[in-house]
Amino acid sequence: MKKKVVIALGGNALGNDPESQKEAVKHTSKSIVDLIEAGNQVIISHGNGPQVGMINLAMDAAAKTDAGTPEMPFPECGAMSQGYIGFHLQNAIQNELRSRGLNIPVATVVTQVVVDKNDPAFQNPTKPVGAFYTKEEADKMIEKGFVFKEDAGRGYRRVVPSPEPKDIVEKESVKALVDAENVVIAAGGGGIPVVEEDGNLVGVPAVIDKDFTTAKLAELVDADSLIILTAVEKVAIRFGKPDQQWLDKLTIEEVQKYIDDKEFAEGSMLPKVKAAMSFVTSKPGRKALITSLEKATDGLAGKTGTWIISK
């Protein structure tokens, strides 16, 4: 019986521009196909920070010209990033599978993620996106309903909320593809945030943390394990200090204690361990692994990485 594994690819698995990304995913695909050859069913999610920023910046710049290019809403920028990152990933994975004589289909699902329109994050947008603006330019955009904040003396940037993921709209499509033995790429960049309004789903300008969305994806497809890939082989406490300690296994209780002790940095390891906790606590028997891309296969075999378990 194959194990169902959901992987959250970190930024180090992707490049910062289309050409470097095509090279980076060739390397990434080798580790992913290693997992498939080891007998795992693989579902992949990924970040999109540099990519969606690049798209948003380009559309902002085009809108400032006399060409008449319209301003591009942020949900659409997220959808564009899912499409082109998905293309690069599925292309590289398909090529790697073929090179090993494996006839396994690969599919990307452009994914909407439901968030609560009453999420407190909407009252306090914090995630900077897009270009820098002068105060005068920012004031004009504020009149249109956008939120801007001054950014460390470099100008003004638009900020958007970062709400929690509640549901994945295309979960049944992802399940059907997985059941049909596809390698599936979904929920890229945390998904395209949508809210329910009068029975309809409407895209909203926001950025959902991709590790939390990947944990939700793993929960909804009933995965055996969640693997969160990052730049380090294991989670550490007292990171970067002389008495730094790498950790092999953590219970939920131990993770919470380290969070309370502020051992994990905001915007770095903290969201990863929190996402791992949310998956592990969603159903008995679930477990999560945090490790590097290169060590993913060894991690699943219990040779390295940090496992987070219920108790």
The angle that helices 210-220 and 269-280 make with each other, rounded to 10 degrees, is 10
Spot the catalytic one: 171, 234, 272, 295: 272
Write the DSSP assignment of 23-50 as a string of letters: HHHHHHHHHHHHHHHTTEEEEEEE--HH
Contact predicate 211/308, CB 8 Å: no
Active site residue 210: yes
Asked if 181 and 9 count as a contact pair (C-beta separation under 8 A), the reply is no
The Cβ of residue 297 has, within 10 Å, a number of other Cβ atoms equal to 19
Sole residue written with tokens 């990052």: 230
DSSP H helices, 7-111, are 18-37, 49-63, 74-99
* Residue 129: other Cβ atoms inside 10 A: 21
Catalytic residue among 3, 12, 166, 287: 12
Q: Which entry of 48, 189, 191, 210 is annotated as an active-site residue? A: 210
Asked whether the beta carbons of 48 and 18 are under 8 A apart, the reply is no
**303 given a catalytic annotation:** no
Handedness of CA 161, 166, 167, 168 (dihedral sign): positive
Catalytic residue, chosen from 11, 15, 47, 190, is 11
In whole angstroms, give the CA distance from residue 178 to residue 41: 8
Dihedral angle of Cα 171, 175, 176, 178, to the nearest 10 degrees: 140
Distance of alpha carbon 186 from alpha carbon 107, whole angstroms: 9
C-alpha span between 285 and 105 (Å, rounded): 29
DSSP string computed for 256-291: HHHHHTT-S-TTTHHHHHHHHHHHHTTSTT-EEEEE
Our answer to whether residue 272 is catalytic in this structure is yes
Q: Which of 26, 127, 175, 287 is catalytic?
A: 127
Catalytic residues: 11-12, 127, 210, 272
